[in-house]
Amino acid sequence: MSIDMRLVEAILNATPGWDAQLAEAGLDATDVSQILTEAARLAETTVAPLAGIADREHCKVVEGRVKTPAGYAEAYRALGENGWITADLSPEFGGMGLPLALNAAVILPFEAAAQPFMMASGSTRAGAHLLADRAPDLAADWCPKASEGKWTITICISEPDAGSDVGRIRTKAVQDGDTWRIDGTKCWISFGDHDMADRIGHLCLARTGTPEEGSRGLSLFLVPNDQGIFVERIEEKLGLNGSPTCVLRFEGAKGHLIGEPGRGLSQLFTMIELMRLQVGGQGAGIALACAGLARAYAADRKQGGKPSAPPVPIDTHPDVQRMLTALDAQAMLSTALVLEAAATVQAGHGDAAMSAYAAFLLPLTKTFNGEGACEAAYTAVQVLGGAGYTQEWPAERYYRDARILTIYEGTTGMQGQDFLMRRLGKDQGAGLAVLAGRIRAGEDSLALRLLDRFEALVADVLAQDMGVQMAAADAVLRAGWVLTSAYLAARLTGVPGCAEAMRFWQATLEAKMGLYEAEVARALK
């Protein structure tokens, strides 16, 4: 389902800081329009046709290697040849040097077209940025090949007994001359093996210290799949059938150390930041696709009306109009959030205040674009009715695929704790201060009221001990989204075509803040 790129472009143009980043990149409005149009064209013609086929065929292990669905290899090469895999990477390493916010907009039609397929390019792009930042010697070999689509990169963190608790990782790295040998098992590795590219590099956390050192004993390695890596199985999942989620066994695999021993988690920061931003793009892409699908179906499907007259399009029925407006609101806000987060991440390079604001926005982007995609898919199925529950339409696939977004790259509980304890506590609310300044400058009365309530809520929670804070973290995260969405909605009311959906969204925000205030009060007892 194609998405409205004119809407995406209008929201990008309204994003704070975008004008300056556009000028700095040497681009103009015509360039942006052409880039977005071309991305949407390739997504619709080359990537979208894979989605339904892959969902039915799945990926398979054949003679120890993963076989992807028909058309995957050709489509992946097309992404590389057209520059879309690492469009925001420096030209020095094979990218186009696009601003991060423009790249986030470019990703949306691809994610809407086939989210499972795009997971290969997502981790490859993030991995290429990590190598460019942390290991320029390796980047010189890997990044151009990754940009061309000839090599891919994964992130290997989780293990069967160490998911979010990375301090319990047992995969071991032992130095062998100038290189290291890696032994252990990694799981949940998206595109951990496949037949789309010539070589796969795994950015793998492994233990170089003692188990007692926890996360301080972990180091980061680039481990090519040339030898010593075996596919044990592909996970059978609720959705993402077109994405092979692999369990990999490392047996003496040769690894290249990145950075200093014992600093693996800090080395991974660049990649994790971009992959969480990618989840926000996945959520926005699915929400946009669901809104477009539901509107197109409702305009065409005829039911109801006077028995003496022909049936009418269902988009004339008030309840369907309500659902379509809710879908529009979710899609618009998700797009605005991921674009603002991307622009802020770029602005934060060298600017402490903007870096803090980016750290504030990322948990919200990851969580609520993920939840928003789930809600959008649910509502799209509802609009389509029985048809939405069948595989004749993509709504049910969106519903299954979107569910992972609130789980991988950090569950909602983890995002809540990060948001409260780090971004509002440890960072002393530096990111919130930037948002508060923008809200006060905008003078939207609803956002101003919600800001006062949120600041009081945060002060109450941070005055408590850690146990109470952990119990309240989810409610604080959700209250933070209520506030942030009010700020975004106030801006989007000025974007053509968005005002009605934003008024719909704004109508319940004070009540929602009350709900989360009540949940915090319960935790404080």
pLDDT digits (tens, 9 = 90+) for 322-363: 999 999 999 999 999 999 999 999 999 999 999 999 999 999
Active-site residue, selected from the candidate residues 236, 409, 443, 455: 409
Pick the CATH number of 5-151 from 3.10.150.10, 1.20.120.140, 1.10.1750.10, 1.10.540.10: 1.10.540.10
- Residue 35 burial class via C-beta count within 10 angstroms: exposed 0-12, middle 13-18, buried 19 and up: buried
Task: State how far Cα 320 lies from the chain centre.
Answer: 29
Domain 152-262 belongs to what topology?
Answer: Butyryl-CoA Dehydrogenase, subunit A; domain 2 (2.40.110)
- Distance, CA of 517 to CA of 472 (rounded, Å): 10
- Distance, CA of 11 to CA of 497 (rounded, Å): 11
pLDDT of residue 1: 63
Question: Whats the size of the chain, residue-wise?
Answer: 525
Taking the CA atoms of 208, 422, 287 and 22 in sequence, report the sign of the dihedral they define: negative
SS (H, E, C) 285-351: HHHHHHHHHHHHHHHHCECCCCCCCCCCEHHHCHHHHHHHHHHHHHHHHHHHHHHHHHHHHHHCCCC
- Distance, CA of 83 to CA of 90 (rounded, Å): 12
pLDDT of residue 269: 86
Q: Vertex 146, ends 144 and 148: CA angle to 5°? A: 70
* In the chain, ranges of CATH 2.40.110.10 domains: 152-262
End-to-end CA distance of the chain: 48
- List of the chain residues with pLDDT < 50: none
- Distance, CA of 141 to CA of 269 (rounded, Å): 21
- Distance, CA of 321 to CA of 302 (rounded, Å): 14
* In the chain, ranges of CATH 1.10.540.10 domains: 5-151
Q: Say if CB 203 and CB 220 are below 8 A apart.
A: yes
Q: Vertex 329, ends 456 and 42: CA angle to 5°? A: 125
| Residue linked to tokens 């600041």 | 455
b/e sequence 152-187, b meaning 16+ C-beta within 10 Å: bbbbbbbbeebeeebbebebebeeeeeebbbbbbbb
pLDDT of residue 162: 86
Q: Say if CB 298 and CB 313 are below 8 A apart.
A: yes
25: alpha, beta or left? (left if phi > 0; alpha if psi -120 to 50):
alpha
pLDDT of residue 392: 95
| Residue linked to tokens 């700095």 | 24
Parallel, antiparallel, or unpaired for β 151-156 and 199-207? parallel
375 catalytically annotated: no
